Amino acid sequence: MIKAVVFDFDGLIFDTETHEYNVLNEIFQEHGTELPLSVWGKVIGTQAGFNPLLYLEEQLGKKLDQEQLTKLRKDRFQEKIKNEGPLPGVEEYLLAAKKAGLKIGLASSSTYEWVSSHLKNLCLFDYFECIRTSDDVEVVKPDPSLYLEAAKCLGVSPSECLAFEDSANGALAAKRAGMYCVIIPNAVTKDLDFCEVDHRLESMAAIELQQLIAKVENK
């Protein structure tokens, strides 16, 4: 029986991932090249030590002003997200989970500062009883540690948790932890090679939470 829901953050609650990729690809195109999704997709949902701006240097075979490019990337990203809200259906799922008495957690490979600041700007922070981020584990997704820590914090077994993910690395982490997993890919992650999951949605707005839980539990 599902007693808790655990959400990813980037690309699932707030679509930082699409904006980040679009900004980076704009910069690549301005230098006459592309950032392939096949390359970028491998690092979504994890921390792989991949620096796309250094990768741009490698593709061009010449040195670039990394400080200037980093500032440009940050400024353009902030401009793109400044008027963005949560993805469709997110707040409805949080409200439905709260109403149903489900415990609500979050597991993200990003830092606590990043996640908490965005959640507060979106007025969603208070929904979460437990937030686990890269600050809490030695290894992030696809390792299961983040999800195991979230379940422990919520006081439930991983087998009693339903995880919501948008990335292949995140889905693999949730399944490795022993959780149910529903994927809701975004424009950047929709063509990634996902592990076997319990259900796939186009959007949280496509089905009510209780209907989804019944579908997953009766699979």
Summarize pLDDT for 136-182 with one digit per residue, the tens.
Answer: 999 999 999 999 999 999 999 999 999 999 999 999 999 999 999 99
pLDDT value of residue 56: 94
10 is catalytic: yes
The total of other beta-carbon atoms located within 10 Å of residue 18's CB is 17
Identify whether the C-beta of residue 40 lies closer than 8 Å to the C-beta of residue 188: yes
The listed CATH number (3.30.420.10, 3.90.1580.10, 3.40.50.1000, 3.30.565.10) that belongs to domain 4-15+86-217: 3.40.50.1000
Task: Please state the domain extents for the chain.
Answer: 4-15+86-217, 16-81
Count of CA atoms in the C-beta half-sphere (13 A) of 205: 5
Cα 162 to Cα 3: distance, rounded to the nearest angstrom? 8
What pTM, to 2 d.p., does this model score? 0.88
Cα 22 to Cα 115: distance, rounded to the nearest angstrom? 20
pLDDT value of residue 202: 95
pLDDT value of residue 82: 85
pLDDT(94) > 80: yes
